[in-house]
Each structure stands twice: as C-alpha cells, then as structure tokens.
Amino acid sequence: MERIIYQTSDNQDWNDLSVRKTFANKTAIFQNKGNAIDKNMKDTRSSWLAWYSIICLVFVVVSSTVQSQDVHFSQFSQTPLLVNPALTGLFRGDNRATLHYKNQWKSIGAPFKTYALSYDMSILKNKWDQGYLGVGFYAFSDKAGDSQLSTTQMNLSVSGIVAVDDANTISLGLQGGFAQRSINSSALQWGNQFDKGNFDASLASQETNVFSPFTHGDFSAGLNWHYVVDKLLMTNAGIALYHVNNPRQEFITSSSEQLYSKIVGYIDGQIGLSNNNLSILPSILYLNQGPATELTFGAMLRYRLKEESRYTGYIKETALSFGGHYRNGDSFIPSILLEVANYALGISYDINVSKLNTVSSGRGGVEISLRFVNPNPLRRGGSKQGPSFL
C-alpha cells in the first residue's frame, strides 16, 4: 500500500519527489465491564451488531482505493487525540497518559519509525452536574525512509462534555498546534551519481538543495456521541475534521501547495455477553483526505481474568483482549491488549496483504502502546466517572 506523507491540492506526492520509493501506511476500541443482560438488552445488542455489519459493508464498497493520510496508528483506540479532539478527557478516570511506538517496512529498506506521546485530563467534574471539560496535548515524531523525511507535531486540545441524559453524552472538541517537516537531501541518491549502473557517492549530484524545512500551524475540530445502557451495552460514534486551515506546504520555496483537510469517522462499542466475563468490542475507522481514503474495521474479544479484591485492593483486576482488524486493501492486524489496574499494554503487527507483499513477504511492522489512567478505571466504585472511549 502506498503511504502518502501528505497530500496537496494539486495531487502532488512529495515522497515521490524525494525518495521515489513506496511509503507505508500508518494509522480500537473502548473497553468496560459487562454482566448479565435481560431479553430487551439482547435484542438491542443484536440490533447493534447488525447495524455494525451493514456499516462495515457499505464502507468497504465506498473505500475501493486505500491510501494513507497523515501519520496514524493501527491501534487507533490508544491514540484518541489523533482520532478526534472531542475525545479529550472522555475516559473513565481523571488523568490519562499514553506512549506509542511503530516500526514499519524494515523488511524492504530503511524503516519508518514513529513515536507518540499524549496526556489528557478532565476538569470541573465536581463543579458541574451535567458536564465537565477535557484538556490535553499530544506530540509525535515520524522519520521515514532513506531521505529521513521527518515530521514533528505538537497540538493542544480542549473539549466540552455534556450529559444529555443518563444514557447519552455529547462532546465537542477543538485542537490547535504546529508541525515541522524536513528532508535530508544529502541521504538521497541521484541519477548523476550512478556510473555504469553503480552508485558512486563521490560523484556530485549536481542538484541544489531545494527541500527546505518549514513549520506551519494546524487546527482541527470534532464531535462525539456516547451511548450507554446499564454499562452493559456501550457505543461511541464521532466525526472530526483535521487541517481545517489547509496549511501551506513549502518544501520547495516557490510552492503554493496546501494540505488537504482530513475527515475522520468512527463507530465502536462494547457488548457484554450474558452471565460471563466476556465482551465483544467491535470498531470501525474511516479516513478521507483529498483523493486518499482508508478503512479499518474489526473486533476484539475481552475476557476479565481476575476481579479486584473487594476490601483490601491488593489483588488488581486484570483483563485480556485479543482479536484483529483489517485495513481495506492493505493489512490484517492481529492485536492483544493486557490491562492490569491503571495500566494497559498493547501489541499489534501489520501483516501486509497488498501487492507490496511480493517484496515485503507480509512483514509490515510492529506497534507497541502503553496507557496509564488514574484513578484505576477497573476499580469498583471510585470517583465520578466519565464515559469511556477505551
């Protein structure tokens, strides 16, 4: 699958201009606990699964061509601020921090490495009866290929979260920050440096350094809806618009290219199974940026291994989730997530199934995430809780 570092209004691919090699894609599931459910709940749960299946089918038909937009992760449930600013502060707890690492396409050349950090928190929970605010930030650094095409971005997010009633919560989020992009043109190989088909680094490239680093502002907004029934059936749906300001891209100083806005849409849920510790966590994520689209869908099965001790708290609740997602036309992504009290560790691997697998042999890339939430989101009772994306 072709990875486009960013797409411009004239459909130019700066990756082709710099390194002339295929780029890879970078791109779930909020979690909670479930118990027994009555017949009405079973009917509602079946209806939810049916609608989820229909939505996945529709998006598969629409998304016949899949390309990557901005830097993103396969474990998209672990990067909520990259999915929608409205998810800022929307979790069970008061403070949340995440770390993320992805190493991609090492099997076909210089790897593409991405590091990400985020922190968000909820405020005014105890002052407002029907809502509260979420504030946070995220930052990532991405370095791709032999050209060391680098993107460093930092954003601040704020959201307003309002409980419409006992079952429905609406949130609106805004995000703003800056990004810096650069290319190490000295690492490139030019036609003038080849002698009889062999590359000779001592030969002058006779190319001027036209790729200048640049910085631009970036602004986004989003809306999210959360629905819960007795904490046994939960669903989350939202839409976001990134790069609202269409920032100018200036690798070539004479260029007037602008970054396409990106539309993000998603639905996920948790469906508790009767009289056991199992729950199903389906999710779907759709991205569109200019002519590029991407669809990722799948499900996880969550099993509660151990409950927290009721009185001492020495025994920590533990849950294990495993399953997989499919990125349309690109990758199958098996994943596992281990939750122990405040911590969650996720590991996934992109198995490439596109035409690129003739050179990648299916080896896409490994992805690791670590999440910390305080207070413990699995603890019985606890402080006033908000709805959960995870």
Peptide bond into 375 cis (omega under 30): yes
Would you say 291 and 7 are in contact if contact means Cβ atoms under 8 Å apart? yes
The pLDDT of residue 171 is: 96
47-55: long-range contacts (C-beta < 8 A, 24 or more apart)? Answer: 48/233, 48/235, 48/269, 48/271, 49/271, 49/280, 49/282, 52/267, 52/269, 52/282, 52/284, 55/267, 55/284
CB crowding 231-240: b at 16 or more within 10 Å, else e: ebbbbbbbbb
* pLDDT given for residue 46 in this prediction: 53
Question: Tell me, what's the pLDDT at 139?
Answer: 95
What are residue 303's DSSP bridge partners? 278, 320
Residues of the chain with pLDDT under 50: 1-41, 50-68, 381-390
Q: How far apart are the first and last CA of the chain?
A: 28
Q: What are the start-end ranges of the E strands in the chain?
A: 95-104, 112-123, 131-144, 149-163, 168-182, 194-195, 198-199, 214-229, 233-242, 248-249, 257-258, 262-272, 278-289, 292-306, 318-327, 331-340, 343-352, 363-374
Per-residue confidence (pLDDT) for residue 237, from 0 to 100 = 94
Q: What is the pLDDT of residue 148?
A: 73
Residues 125 and 94: their CA atoms lie apart, in Å, by 9
**Rounded Cα distance, 36 and 38, in Å:** 7
Backbone angles phi, psi at 186, to 5 degrees: -70, -15
pTM (2 d.p.): 0.75
Q: Looking at residue 172, what is its pLDDT?
A: 97
Tokens of 167: 């079952």
Q: What is 61-106 written as a DSSP string?
A: HH--S----SS--S-GGG-HHHH-GGGTT-SSSSEEEEEEEEEE-G
Is the CB of residue 183 less than 8 Å from the CB of residue 226?
A: no
Cα 99 to chain centroid distance, Å, stands at 12
pLDDT of residue 20: 33
CA neighbor of 128 nearest in space, from 101, 154, 89: 89
Ordered structural domains, the chain, with CATH: 14-374 (2.40.160.40)
Q: Is 37 helix (H, G, I), strand (E, B) or coil?
A: coil
On the CB side of 358, CA atoms within 13 Å amount to 3
Alpha helix segments (H runs only) across the chain: 14-18, 39-62, 80-83, 357-360
Q: SS3 of 128, please?
A: coil
- Cβ neighbours of 379 (radius 10 Å): 17
**Assigned token pair, 331:** 């990758």
| Rounded Cα distance, 183 and 143, in Å | 9
Angle at 361 between CA 360 and CA 367, to 5 degrees: 65
pLDDT digits (tens, 9 = 90+) for 21-35: 333 333 333 334 344
CB 283 within 8 A of CB 28: yes
| pLDDT at residue 229 in the model | 80
